[in-house]
Structure 1
Amino acid sequence: MPAHAKLGPAAILVAGALALSACASKAPKELPPEPGPPATSTDTGQMGATPGSQAEFVQLMAGADTIYFDTDRYDIDSQDQAALARQAQWLARYPGKRATIEGHADERGTREYNLALGERRANAAKNYLVSLGVDPSRLSTLSYGKERPVALGSDAQSWAQNRRAVTVTID
């Protein structure tokens, strides 16, 4: 009887484990450095935002990248004017940046009506930015109507959040 036939199952398992452990990866001789503090932008003081990026725009706007409307309305009120003035200041700092203004509506009404209302809202925001000195060739509009809600409820609070125009910067 050959010698390997006399080995018990436990001995075979031990031999297999030893063979596999020989294939295991070895620890590197030198470990990578510890992570340092997060990157910051010296121009903006914002954590991790590249100057002129959409991320910086959203951080600096702190919610002012979006304006809200009353039901079936597309007029720019004083709160919207303040938000759009902040957007215009940012766009003035980055004259090579363009932006798309997205118009949205709540779920009530027909698809066609809400697309038209979203377009009027986006154009109202664009026209106000232009009145503040932003070159109209840098701005485009897009209506999503009721197709992209941020709040999914069928109540007054959700509808109010969905009646909006959002400015998104692009290269």
Structure 2
Amino acid sequence: MGIKNLFIVIFCLFFIFACAERKIYMPEGKVEGEMPKKEEKTEAEKPTGQEELSATEMSEVLKKLQEEIKDIHFDFDRYDIRQEDIPTLKKVASLLQKYSNLRVIIEGHCDERGTNEYNFALGQKRANAVKQYLITLGVLPSKMEIISYGEEKPLCTEHNESCWQKNRRAHFVFIEEGK
């Protein structure tokens, strides 16, 4: 009886500490438990060929990008980039390289099947796979953040394969540098 209780206590502590590591992206652009980072670049530090937009222009670009750039999707229980999603990733990469004050948050999402913990980890792997692919296309890691929502933010709530396919995705949220 004593050893059983010890295992229960150890499991509970592991679960508590594992959940404590989870970072949640807040709509204001902040991550719980972290201080916001603000990096100012001098003209000499900016890569050549990049455009710096005014606040009004950036607002228009952000709105247009959110409408134009579609989610990419994943096969069941997978996080590898599919061939048909490469053009979207190339477009994202070129935009991040073109505009010096543009950043992206890559959200990893899953369908409802599997445990919350498993889907959170799978969503993280999906977001990270997208980030790593964008890095191979020349995007600086500092221009990207990743977050996993697991199964918490489904696009479709029906219980069938066509709906689940819509939920297995990476979503792009474009933001202005320093926001």
TM-score interval (norm. to shorter): 0.5 to 0.7
CA drift of 1:59 comes to 3.4
Higher relative contact order (CA 8 A, sep 6+): 2
Is structure 2 residue 78 aligned with structure 1 residue 57? Answer: no
User: 1:169 maps to which residue?
Assistant: 174
DSSP-derived class of the 2:63 partner: helix
Counterpart code for 1:54: L
Tell me the percent identity: 44
* Pairing partner for 2:96 from 71, 82, 91: 91
Q: 2:111 aligns with which of 106, 117, 121?
A: 106
Tell me the alpha carbon deviations over residues 106-154 of structure 1, each in whole angstroms, 9 at most, x when there is no partner.
0000000000000000000000111101100110100000000000111
Structural mapping, 1:9-88, within 5 Å: 50-51=57-58, 53-61=61-69, 63=70, 66-88=71-93
Q: Where does the alignment leave 5 or more consecutive residues of structure 2 unmatched?
A: 1-55
Question: Within the alignment, does 1:147 sit opposite 2:155 as a pair?
Answer: no
Aligned equivalents of 2:154 and 2:136: distance in 1?
Answer: 29
How far off its partner does 1:50 sit? 4.4
**76-85 vs 119-128, greater mean Cα deviation:** 76-85
Bigger-Rg structure (1/2) = 1
Q: Which amino acid aligns with 1:166?
A: H
Cα deviations by residue, 1:37-63 (Å, 9 ceiling, x for unpaired): xxxxxxxxxxxx9456321212343x2
> If the length of structure 1 is used for normalisation, what is the TM-score?
0.66
The total of aligned residue pairs comes to: 120
**How many Å separate the matches in 2 of 1:97 and 1:60?**
15
Structure 2 counterpart of 1:57, one-letter code: L
Structure 1 unaligned blocks of 5 or more = 1-48
Cα distance in 2 for partners of 1:98, 1:123 equals: 15
Give the 3-state SS of the residue equivalent to 2:107 in structure 1: strand
Cα RMSD (Å) of the superposition?
Answer: 1.5
Q: What TM-score, normalized by structure 2, do the two folds share?
A: 0.64
